Amino acid sequence: MRRLTVSPRPDWQSRVEKIGLTYHTLANGQPYWDESVYWQFTSAEIDRLEAATAEIQNLCLSAGDVILNQDRLAQMGIPAAAHAAIRAAWNGEPPALYGRLDLAYDGSTIKLLEYNADTPTGLIEAAVAQWYWLQDCFPEADQWNSIHEKLIAKWKDLKDYIPGGVHFADAGSDEDRMTTAYLQDTAEQAGLRTRRLAVKEIGWDQRRLGFADLKNDRIHTLFKLYPWEWMLEESFAQQALSTLPPASPLVEYGPRKDRRSWGSLLWIEPIWKMMWSNKALLAILWELNPGHELLLPAYLDGPRDLNSYVRKPFFGREGAGISLIRNGVAEFGSLQGLAPHGYVYQALAPMAQAGGRTAVFGSWLIDGEPAGMGIRESLGPVTTNTSCFLPHLFR
């Protein structure tokens, strides 16, 4: 594993913009997409990362069963109103599209940092931008990247399952809009009918008891780039839960007995992803698999005997609310204040560091299968929304 420098393509900005990476530069003028540096791996190293991803996915599947069998959703800060829906979705196995494991890897040790299972971003960068970079700059090399092909294959598998087409919605940031547009494009390439709208444009039809778009057409299936924990705090939370089994029987309405409500809605990602996108999962994984080579010691009741650790809120993204303590001293963030749901305390991992940056290796899964990798680097010890993205290859 090596971190190497290379001259960026002269027209790199226009090239990445053409494929949807419009947010390639940060507000301070520094590149978010940084192709002046790349990571090179051996095929054996890629095989290790792929195998580790599959193993962690299996550990999470087992942990999901334990969480539900032991009624531990409340311990994870998940509202009681969602428990029945999570259990039903887990048992019913509705479609789950994608996720991303964030891994620490120093060329020797691989450790799970967290699982972005509900609304992972960095997808255009990993699936498309770095692939075109490879073709332009190193066409003789290879890349761990079958994300695009596997997304289309998954949508094709769902064609008969979702005959009503798919609505795609997001919260409206540039990155979210382009990520959603890319996923919509993969669905269309698979032959599905799609429609796009913002989360705030989704309406509730009280007469039909279902969600509708701006044309008042029923939403049969909704891909939402909007976290479930946010949705459950919205004014429409009760309506969203009412569309999920077992709380969504077809209800008669109006004077005619043969008229019924729209009933349930297929959500992608399913609500059970709240168990995996929740960082309490890290402590449960360690409890169930103590000493596992791919896991870090992690606890819910405090750092215990850890002198150096990261404190993470159960729900959080892009480094928000994270504190890093090294040898008893806060190096990043603060231990003041409290998260509304709770914290997990996770041991520090051996991280790849070079050029004054710390790297995190995002391992993508499509339909639960390893599919590729994207790399983020930060100047500090914690990945934030200003951490840059670097391409990779292997030989």
Q: Region 311-333: what's the mean pLDDT?
A: 86
Please report the pLDDT score of residue 263 as a whole number. Answer: 57
Q: 212 and 203 in contact (C-beta within 8 Å)?
A: yes
Q: What is the per-residue DSSP string for 137-180? A: H-TTSB-SB-HHHHHHHHHHHHTTT-TT-EEEEE---HHHHHHH
160 pLDDT tier (thresholds 50, 70, 90)? confident
Please choose, from the candidates 334, 331, 380, 285, the residue with its C-alpha nearest in 3D space to the C-alpha of residue 72: 285
The first and second tokens of residue 95, run together, are: 């479609």
Q: How far is the C-alpha of 101 from the C-alpha of 99, rounded, in Å?
A: 7
pTM of the model: 0.93
Please report the pLDDT score of residue 15 as a whole number. Answer: 97
| DSSP letter, residue 274 | G
pLDDT tens readout for residues 142-156: 999 999 999 999 999
Please choose, from the candidates 277, 266, 97, the residue with its C-alpha nearest in 3D space to the C-alpha of residue 184: 97
Confidence check: pLDDT of 259 > 80:
no
pLDDT tens readout for residues 268-304: 999 999 999 999 999 999 999 999 999 999 999 999 9
Residue extents of the structural domains in the chain: 2-394
pLDDT tens readout for residues 338-356: 777 889 999 999 999 988 8
| DSSP letter, residue 314 | S
Q: 362 and 376 in contact (C-beta within 8 Å)?
A: yes
Using a pLDDT cut of 90, give the percent of the chain over it.
82
Confidence check: pLDDT of 247 > 60:
no
Residue type, 145: N
For CA atoms 43, 49, 50, 51, the dihedral sign is positive
Neighbours of 284 (CB within 10 A): 24
Query: Across all residues in the chain, what is the average pLDDT?
Result: 92
| DSSP letter, residue 252 | B
Please choose, from the candidates 176, 157, 168, the residue with its C-alpha nearest in 3D space to the C-alpha of residue 193: 168
Strands 266-268 and 298-299: unpaired
Radius of gyration of the chain (CA): 21
- What are residue 375's DSSP bridge partners? 361, 390
167 Cβ contact partners less than 8 Å away, ≥ 6 residues apart: 194, 195, 196, 197, 213, 219, 220, 221, 222, 223
Confidence check: pLDDT of 216 > 80:
yes
Please report the pLDDT score of residue 256 as a whole number. Answer: 33
pLDDT tens readout for residues 6-52: 999 999 999 999 999 999 999 999 999 999 999 999 999 999 999 99
pLDDT tens readout for residues 325-337: 999 888 887 777 6
**Helix extents (H) in the chain:** 12-18, 43-69, 83-92, 123-124, 130-137, 147-158, 174-189, 228-231, 237-242, 280-288
Q: How far is the C-alpha of 316 from the C-alpha of 339, rounded, in Å?
A: 10
Please report the pLDDT score of residue 249 as a whole number. Answer: 38
- What are residue 2's DSSP bridge partners? 40
pLDDT tens readout for residues 187-197: 999 999 999 99
Please report the pLDDT score of residue 253 as a whole number. Answer: 29
Q: How far is the C-alpha of 359 from the C-alpha of 3, rounded, in Å?
A: 10
Q: How far is the C-alpha of 352 from the C-alpha of 359, rounded, in Å?
A: 5
Confidence check: pLDDT of 258 > 60:
no
Q: Region 377-382: what's the mean pLDDT?
A: 87
